[in-house]
Each structure stands twice: as C-alpha cells, then as structure tokens.
Amino acid sequence: MNLEYLLIKPVTPIRLGSVKPNSQFLSTVDYISGSVIRGALAEYMKRLGKESSIKKLVENSYFSFFYPSNSPETPSYPFPLTSLTCKNNPGFKSDGEECHGVFSQLIPIIALKELKLLGAEFPVDLNFKCDNCGSRMDGITGFYMKGDYYKKVKTEKFSQTKIALNRLTKTSEKGLIYSITALKPEKLFFIGSVYSEEPVAEKIEEALNTVGVGSHTTRGYGRVEAQIIKPPVFESLDERIKLFNETLRKVWAELLSIALDKSNLPKEPEDEYFTIDLLSPSILDDNNMPTLNLKLDFKSESLKQILFLAQPVFISGWSTAYNYFKPTTYGAAAGSVYVYKTSKNLGELIPLLEKLELDGIGRRRGEGYGEVKICMPFHREVNPI
C-alpha cells in the first residue's frame, strides 16, 4: 500500500457543500472531504472518456479529508471534543495577547474517574476556570496546527448574491435569487493524503488542477493548484502512547495529593491507557444500527473502554460516478475521543493500533470517513497554552 500526501492551494474562492437545507442560501464548510477529492477524480476520468477506469482507481483507495491550514508546510487537525478555552478571551496564547489559552481536559478526567472508582473522595468537584481571569471555560471548535507553537487555523468567508437564469429565455428567472458563501483563497491551504494499492497521487493532482474542487466550478469557483508533497513529520505511535501515560501519571499524582483519604490508593495508575481520536467523521454500526460508540474487537480480555466523548453529525453526499445522491446517515463527529485501558503491556497491541491508523474504522472509508490517530499529542496539553 502507498501513502501519499497532497497540498491544495485555492486560486479562486472555493465553496464546499454539506447537508443542503431547502434554502436559497448556499453555505460552505471549512474542509474538503475525501468524497469531494474522489468525485473530482471521477469527473476527470469521465472527461477523458475513461469511465471504465474509475472503479479500479477508487475501489482500493482511501481519500482522507483535507483540512485547512495557514501554512503550506503544516497540516492541521480538528480540535478534540475535550478542548477547553477561556469563555471571555478564547484562543491559543500565541494567537494574541488577549487570548488566555487552550488545553485538553481529557487526562484530568481519566485520572479523576479512575481514582473515584478506586474509592477516592475529593473536597470539591472538578471544575475548570481560566487561570488569567477566573471566567468559565468553554469548548472550542475548528482546526489547529502546530509548527513552533500551536495556532488556530483562520479561514475567511465572503458571500455573493446571484440571480438564476431561465434555461429557455436565457434571462433572469423571477423569484430565483440565491446567495453563495465561499472561502477566500488568501493564505489558505489544504493538506491531506491518499492511501492506495497503486500510486494515484499524480492522477489526483492532474484531476484537481483540471476539474477544480467543490461546487460552482463552471462559474469561477474552486480553481486550485495541487501538488504532491512529502509526508509531514509526526511522533511515532510508541512515543505518543509513552508520553500520554507519563502525563497521566503526573496528573494522577497531583489529584491524589488533594484526595481526602489517600492511604489505600495507588500512587500511580496500574494499567496502561490509550485514546482513539477521530480525525474525520466516522460512520459506526452496532448490529446494523447507527451508533456513536466505537466497539472494537482486539481479541483481548484485558482491554476495556473506560469512557468516550462523541457528538453526532449528519453525513450525506453526491455520487459523481453514478450521478445520484448518497443516503443520508449520521456518525460520530471529527474530534470525538475513545479511551481504553489494558492491564497488559501495550507493546502487544502496537501492531493492531498501527493497522487501525492506516485502515481506519467504520463504513465508507474510501471517502475519508473513519480516519483515526492514537493518543494525539494535544491531549498532553493539560495546562493552557
């Protein structure tokens, strides 16, 4: 299998549709889904008269979501649902002096939950307040990137109002006015990957540069410049798991120090922990019924899911190859987190977890759904940054 990365630079405004309401206002999302990339490739092959080659190209390929970035060299990731920031002054401290920082509450939640299960009692409930101003903490959404420091990805949108034309008279149609919202191309990049049996990145590059991305490409939207890039540097799986558990032990010790009766409590966790973080929405099933909970069979009795944080998201789409809409369903949103623990050495599970990162989870993997990472480094930021 081949894992190849591409960089997409919008040249003109780009509109990326989502679940479309019955309205004349056409909004946009901030990312390019894998199905959009796959659809552009299918459209390109149709223009070349090679429709019979579409199935062979896409059936064994996984097209990831392409997330926005403000740097062509730095990929971005969705904020986990455990992210918190100051309600009055949100944002990373590096985003400006007025920002009070962002952190992840996941590791403190794990430590508190496990200590309570062991009988620990605390004088107060866990309640996060801003260190700078004392205001409450709220969740933060969107995407972040990390170069020398963390930054929230910024995208700018603009709207145009247009009048639909009558196909017969070629004049404006009465009552058919609509508004399009699109992303501005300035300082905007998209980075993603394709995982396939045969190298297809060059063909995707040609397709995107010819067909464009998103909707309304025949009206000037969605022209892009795509190119193949080197894979971004990322911590190894072993290192991520090791550092995650080291941070958990530190937080465990801090919480244990304020427990009312700590004499019978272990000074550090007796198990090893890891997270499965959704980098893209995932379509999960439980006995053929949609669910938000992730149930994985690692064939290990020692492995146990201790908690998960997920929220639903509607998923739909349009098939360019079949010229027909895809069924609407719901799944777990990007940023959802699933936490597991095991009493055994995690080294035994490393091959399974590596395969999970490559293959993903759930249905419609070829369209980018179900991409995961184990123990995202952002969870180790337990203090506002």
- Who's near 192: CB < 8 A, 6+ residues apart? 5, 6, 8, 32, 34, 37, 63, 64, 65, 66, 67, 368
The helix-helix angle for 201-211 and 34-47 (nearest 10°) equals: 80
Does the pLDDT of residue 84 top 90, yes or no?
Answer: yes
Fold of domain 81-140+236-380:
Immunoglobulin-like (2.60.40)
Does the pLDDT of residue 106 top 90, yes or no?
Answer: yes
Does the pLDDT of residue 10 top 70, yes or no?
Answer: yes
Return d(Cα 255, Cα 274) in angstroms, integer.
20
- DSSP-derived secondary structure letter, 123: S
- DSSP-derived secondary structure letter, 167: T
CA atoms within 13 A of residue 339's CA, in its CB half-sphere: 23
CB atoms within 10 A of CB 63: 29
The 3-state DSSP class for residue 110 equals helix
Query: What is the per-residue pLDDT for 96?
Result: 83
Query: What is the per-residue pLDDT for 18?
Result: 65
Q: pLDDT tens-digit profile of 17-57?
A: 765 655 677 888 899 998 889 888 888 888 888 877 777 77
CA atoms within 13 A of residue 256's CA, in its CB half-sphere: 18
The model's confidence at residue 384, banded by pLDDT at 50, 70 and 90, is confident
Higher pLDDT, 179 or 90: 90
CATH 2.60.40.10 is right for the domain spanning 2-75+152-229: no
Q: Measured between alpha carbons, how far is residue 2 from residues 32, 186, 195, 198, 231 in Å?
A: 21, 31, 6, 7, 12
- DSSP-derived secondary structure letter, 24: S
Q: pLDDT tens-digit profile of 124-151?
A: 888 888 888 888 989 999 999 998 889 9
Query: What is the per-residue pLDDT for 323?
Result: 67
Domain with CATH 3.30.70.2660 in the chain: 2-75+152-229
**Do the beta carbons of residue 80 and residue 104 sit within 8 Å?**
yes
Query: What is the per-residue pLDDT for 326?
Result: 76
Domain with CATH 2.60.40.4350 in the chain: 81-140+236-380
Return d(Cα 361, Cα 340) in angstroms, integer.
16
Query: What is the per-residue pLDDT for 320?
Result: 60
Q: pLDDT tens-digit profile of 349-360?
A: 888 899 999 889
The model's confidence at residue 302, banded by pLDDT at 50, 70 and 90, is low
**Do the beta carbons of residue 236 and residue 59 sit within 8 Å?**
no
